[in-house]
Structure 1
Amino acid sequence: MKVQKITVDNKSYPLYLLLDKDYQVIEPVMRFIKYLDNTGKSPNTIKSYCYHLKLLYEFMEQRGMTLNDIGFEELANFMGWLRYPTEVKVIDLQPKEAIREETTVNTILNAVVSYLEYLNRLGNFKSINIFKQARGRNFKGFLNHINQGKYQKNVLKLRAKKKQIRTLTSVEVKQIINACHTKRDKLTLLLMYEGGLRIGEVLSLRLEDIATWDNQIHLTPRDVNVNEAYIKLRKERTIHVSKELMALYTDYLVHEYSEDLEHDYVFISLKEGYYGKPLKYQSVLDLVRRIVKRTKIDFTPHMLRHTHATQLIRDGWDVAHVQKRLGHAHVQTTLNTYVHFTNQDMKNEFNKYLEGKERKK
């Protein structure tokens, strides 16, 4: 099995196909990918779906199954296989650590069930009632009101452990930024920290997106980016940054950026032999690994974004404003995923509450 990246004449961005062991295109997956593309899914989403479906087909091949053999029990076995891959009829009595976390398994299963739903809608796939038995989320049928609100609950979904993602202190952030050797690297990390941007959003920036005179950065979705960096949800938004960050951007352009480039990507490679090429996702991950090694501070790029969101809430920002700044589709995502309060935060807020009660007496 292989996921193959392809270019299409009438598309300005790449698409992905799934090939079998004989390097033949798997037709149902190709039709599904076309459907995803036609309904506006991003290239990165389509790529992820291809890799998720690759796992399904590897599972079926290992067990000698076809799509028509898939039932409720087979999907449940697939979930178990994702966590603990084993050969058919092999029973491992030794305790093993799962190779995939619950959230990862749920994400893969959601893609697989979407694929099976699509095939069911075409009418040429005999399988279980996907809508009622295997959906990754609670599913309400269009006659749900007749059934007094009772509907089939999600049964094929692992209970994910809620992670408390650590946020960085101001001292740690300063150490991280000071450990950068180039203005480009400092600017990259500061945009994730002060702007709350994702890696893809940082790397997708073009010179025309930066309004230095107004300290604004416009995040503009584009169908094609040669470095395959895209804006999640394809939603346009504008964020405001400090004068200091914008001054760093200007210094970067003056000292490290060339005016002779044939493109207008903001972030470029500074390596000899690769100078001027648009920076890629892996380069940012490599940068973070180097900074972790220099500072001994264990952090991830997304932790900078988490820290930014939490600090905004601590400083009194309304959560709806934080949601808009971060580019979330739902305000609950902001609350559940990106906002983290420490015990000290809770203590400080309770003390404010007590002080307010005293003043009212």
Structure 2
Amino acid sequence: MIYKVETIKDGTEKYFFIRNLETMSIEELPSKYLMHKIKCKRSPNTVKRTAFSICYYMKYMAEKEMELTEVYQLDYEKQTEYFVEFLYWLKAGNHTEQTSGEKKCPNEGTCNAYLKDVFRFYLFIEAEYEQYGSLKTLSYNQIIAVNQVGVKKVLRNHSFKAYLKEEEHRGRTAKENQIITILQACTNRRDQLLLLMLAETGYRIGELLGVKYVKDIDYRNHMIRVCFREDNENEARAKNAEYRSAKISNDTFEFLMDYLAKYRKILQHQDYLFVNIMGENIGKPLRVDSVYDMLDRMEKKTGVKITPHMLRHYFANMRKQAGWELEMISQALGHKHLDTTIKYLDWLDDELIEASNEFYAQHTAIYGAERLLE
């Protein structure tokens, strides 16, 4: 691979840049953009994904023997064709080095996300260097529409319409018996508590790993708070710079107290709730990759696959079955849009049929259709 994403850590801050492996020099424009993303307080995961998106794009340009700014010289049709080819190049798995000979091809949504990151990079270039103009594929079609009462509204549509068609994605939901199986297979209180709290709070794994047992737990009311922090030692972050709370059950609270008592000698030297309880990193805050490693071990042990995201889906569906309003579930999950929450819920055909049967049983002959047959 010609280009490589590299990182430098300064205290708790991680900086990303792209290196040219032929010249061993740092690519100035992409690295400047990544620094801009960090200064704008974007999450480390967002900056990391952006870094890889641009790195893949630079590899594509190298194969095309083109430079970043040369794309501006192409006409609209050629620019569109150029970026469409990039999408299919990604879809074919050409963006990563293959060691086994079998290419790993990303789905359509991932390919589109990579291209959108590239487009944002170009918008940054245009803002910094006006001499390049703007990409024709990033121009807007503007239409002025007038409604029935004469109010004018400007409708703006992005001119690039060639993204890959994405299949509707619905994440899997963990089942209660699966959660119980994994809990019984866990070999320590920490992992059991982690799973219980994920299932009962609906928090993202990064949010839960950022919880501090002194500051973020209301022991009287059994509430766990998510607090946005940028300097967590384990790089755990609350998404969207949000603050919210969730209540856990009495049983899980008693489990929490038992965990705090059992590992008090380790916990007393820092204030994160979830820490490494053995090994050379004992006492240090638990990281996301360690949680996934633990769940991988549990899958090999039990044959049951569970992820933190599946537990968020479980939380949402359990609350739906309990009669929670959609807006309340959305707020608990920390979603900005109700459409996102709806995708978490398993609206089964049987439920829709049952609801329809109940509706028509109570509202028969709404339209007087039987009289139309006379």
Provide the C-alpha distance between the structure 2 equivalents of 1:73 and 1:40, rounded to a whole number of angstroms: 34
The 2-side partners of 1:257 and 1:186 are apart by 17
8 Å CA contact 1:239, 1:325 repeated in 2? yes
Q: Distance in 2 between matches of 1:113 and 1:334?
A: 27
Is 2:90 the partner of 1:82? yes
- SS in structure 1 opposite 2:341? helix
Choose 215-224 or 61-70, whichever is displaced more: 61-70
The superposition leaves residues 67-125 of structure 1 with CA deviations (integer Å, 9 ceiling, x where unpaired) of 123232221111111111459xxxxxxxx986100111111111111111111222143
Q: Is the 8 A contact 1:116 1:130 kept in 2?
A: no
Pairing 1:34–2:29 present:
no
Aligned residues of 1:144 and 1:151 also touching (Cα < 8 A): no
In 1, Cα distance between equivalents of 2:222 and 2:7: 38
Q: How does 1:341-360 map to 2 (within 5 A)?
A: 341-350=347-356, 352-353=358-359, 356=362
SS of equivalent to 1:160: coil
1:343 CA drift (Å) = 3.5
- 1:92 is matched with none
What one-letter code is carried by the residue in structure 2 that aligns with 1:168?
A: A
RMSD, aligned CA: 2.6
Distance in structure 1 (CA, Å) of the matches to 2:154 and 2:291: 52
Segments of 5+ residues of structure 1 without an aligned counterpart are: 88-95, 133-138
Give the Cα–Cα distance (whole angstroms) in 1 for the partners of residues 54 and 301 of structure 2. 39
Match status 1:18 vs 2:9: no
CA distance in 2 between partners of 1:49 and 1:79 (Å): 16
Query: What is the match of residue 75 of structure 2?
Result: none
Distance in 1 of aligned mates of 2:180 and 2:253: 17
Alignment check: 8 A CA contact 1:117 1:130 kept:
no
8 A Cα contact 1:193 1:305, kept in partner: yes
Q: Displacement, 1:317?
A: 0.9
Please, what TM-score do these two structures have when normalized by structure 2?
A: 0.82
CA distance in 2, matches of 1:169, 1:187: 17
Counterpart for residue 135 of structure 1 = none
Residue 224 of structure 2 is matched in structure 1 by 217
Query: Which residue identity is paired with 2:25?
Result: Q
- The count of aligned residue pairs is 340
Deviates more, 1:151-160 or 1:198-207: 151-160
Larger Rg belongs to: 2
Describe the shift of the 1:193–1:116 C-alpha distance in structure 2 as closer, same or farther (beyond 3 A): same
Indicate if the aligned counterparts of 1:68 and 1:127 stay in contact, CA closer than 8 A: no
Q: What's the CA shift for 1:283? A: 0.9
Q: Which runs of 5+ in 2 are unaligned?
A: 72-78, 96-101, 146-151, 365-374
What is residue 372 of structure 2 aligned with on the other side?
none
> What code does the residue aligned with 1:197 have?
Y
Shift of residue 261 of structure 1? 4.7
Contact 2:206/2:236, CA 8 A, preserved across alignment: yes
Determine which structure has the larger strand proportion and give its number: 2
User: Aligned residue for 2:161?
Assistant: 155
Distance 2:68 2:331 in 1: 42
Return the alpha-carbon distance in structure 2 between the equivalents of residues 355 and 181 of structure 1.
52
